[in-house]
């Protein structure tokens, strides 16, 4: 039997890891500028964390979660997203007693059993951020501006920000009555899943990806027409705050997002270059989530973006960076008496931040030279009896074949100064 990675997973090989490091580094640097600190949460949680947070009747919980009983008979699920687990951590670790706002960012793997397609995997990677404790629209705009700045750092300048408000529970209660009346007249045209959603959560019908349901709901009443005064003022405040920051946006009254915890602000960054949906980042407010978990009334807002889709977007624009060229030195030794010296030099170079290697497999000298050329080293150094007698070695650039002499006594100090200033 041939062993392969499970369907919907993939290996990230050394040849491509450089672009992942680049994106992750830029994200964390931008988060730091805005005062967001990294948090790391468990890969799996009690299933209740997601059923209560994400929503029992969402596709994520009903169809996509990897759920199992552990050896103690407890229902456990691999995380399908980050927000619910971070909300649990917020409460468990007493963050509610710390000065607000609490700003957290993360870099996680997540898991959803869904159809595998380009840019979508069953094990995938997410970058995201959450802000707790600020109820006004300015934090919404600040979070969006952080995403905008991150995209600019990557060279993505023309993604379109689309915003909407889905109001508070009171707004939705009023809206659900009018939506159910609309859907009842078209009930037979809905998919089976949305017929089941009709009573429990009719708003979820608007987020259905089935073409039949998209056709049925095209003329549905808009939730934004049912906003209470507070929610309407919040949405106006968000628009003003975005304008103050010179961030362009469009109002898309059809955005509802797919998870139950969202309230008021919801948003997406859209690109024409990715798939059919074009969403490369999405998020919104979840002012009731902490209270729903038993942690009191603490407002929150967050976002997440899939790294695989983001890299696909960058690739389509020709923006995917290669690994920055770094100095890497291969030391080829001639004769057994120079092996120890080669290893000692490698260690000294590494202690000073210079990547260096020497033979570990018993290669012949000729084979070692051939390996150095194929393995992508930037420089080659040969150490034999002549070099140890004279105390002088030659460093050869494998890029342009230039050579330079160095004294062994101050080799490391000179290389560190020349390569890294």
Domain 17-168+228-316 annotated CATH 3.40.50.720: no
Helix, strand, coil content of the chain in percent (nearest 5)? 45, 20, 35
Q: Taking the domains of the chain in order of start, what are their residue ranges?
A: 17-168+228-316, 328-420
Q: Decide whether 17-168+228-316 matches 328-420 in CATH topology.
A: no
Q: What percent of the chain has pLDDT over 70?
A: 96
DSSP line for 115-172: --BTTB-SEEEEEEEEEES--SHHHHHHHHHHHHHHHHHHT---PEEEEEE---HHHH
Count Cα neighbours of 370 within 13 Å in the Cβ-side half-sphere. 5
SS3 assignment, position 53: helix
Domain 328-420 annotated CATH 2.60.40.10: no
pTM: 0.86
Token pair 């997973």 in the structure block, residue: 9
DSSP 323: P
Going by pLDDT thresholds of 50, 70 and 90, the confidence category of residue 323 is low
Q: For position 244, what pLDDT does the model report? A: 95
Distances (CA, A) of 81 to 145, 230, 302: 22, 29, 12
Task: Give 327-381 pLDDT, tens digit per residue.
Answer: 889 999 999 889 999 999 999 999 998 999 999 999 999 999 999 988 889 999 9
Going by pLDDT thresholds of 50, 70 and 90, the confidence category of residue 276 is very low
């Amino acid at each position: 039997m041939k062993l392969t990675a499970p369907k919907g997973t993939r290996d990230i090989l050394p040849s491509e890891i450089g672009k992942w490091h680049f994106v992750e580094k830029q994200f964390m640097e931008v988060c730091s500028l805005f005062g967001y600190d990294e948090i790391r949460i468990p890969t799996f949680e009690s299933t209740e964390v997601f059923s209560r947070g994400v929503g029992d009747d969402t596709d994520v919980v009903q169809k996509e979660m990897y759920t199992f009983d552990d050896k103690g008979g407890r229902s456990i699920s691999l995380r399908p997203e980050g927000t619910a687990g971070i909300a649990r951590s917020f409460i468990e670790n007493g963050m509610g007693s710390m000065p607000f706002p609490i700003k957290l960012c993360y870099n996680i793997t997540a898991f959803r059993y869904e159809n595998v397609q380009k840019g979508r995997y069953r094990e995938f990677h997410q970058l995201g951020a959450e802000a707790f404790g600020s109820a006004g629209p300015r934090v919404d705009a600040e979070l969006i501006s952080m995403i905008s700045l991150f995209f600019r750092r990557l060279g993505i300048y023309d993604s379109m920000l689309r915003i909407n408000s889905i109001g508070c529970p009171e707004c939705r209660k009023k809206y659900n009555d009018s939506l159910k009346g609309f859907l009842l007249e078209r009930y037979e045209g809905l998919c089976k899943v949305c017929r089941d959603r009709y009573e429990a959560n009719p708003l979820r019908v608007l987020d259905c990806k089935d073409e039949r349901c998209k056709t049925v709901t095209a003329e549905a009443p808009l939730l934004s027409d049912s906003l209470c005064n507070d929610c309407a003022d919040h949405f106006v405040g968000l628009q003003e705050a975005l304008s103050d920051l010179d961030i362009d946006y469009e109002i898309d009254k059809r955005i509802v997002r797919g998870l139950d915890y969202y309230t008021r602000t919801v948003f997406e960054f859209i690109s024409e270059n990715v798939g059919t949906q074009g969403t490369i980042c999405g998020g919104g407010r979840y002012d009731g989530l902490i209270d729903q978990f038993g942690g009191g009334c603490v407002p929150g807002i967050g976002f997440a973006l899939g790294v695989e889709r983001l890299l696909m977007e960058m690739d389509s624009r020709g923006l995917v960076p290669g690994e920055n060229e770094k100095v890497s030195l291969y030391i080829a030794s001639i004769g057994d008496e120079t092996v120890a010296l080669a290893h000692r030099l490698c260690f000294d170079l590494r202690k000073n931040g210079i990547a260096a290697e020497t033979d570990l497999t018993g290669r012949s000298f000729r084979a070692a030279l051939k390996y150095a050329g194929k393995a992508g080293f930037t420089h080659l150094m040969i150490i034999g009896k002549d070099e140890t007698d004279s105390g002088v070695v030659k460093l050869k650039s494998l890029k342009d074949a230039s050579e330079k002499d160095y004294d062994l006594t101050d080799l490391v100090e000179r290389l560190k100064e020349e390569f890294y200033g």
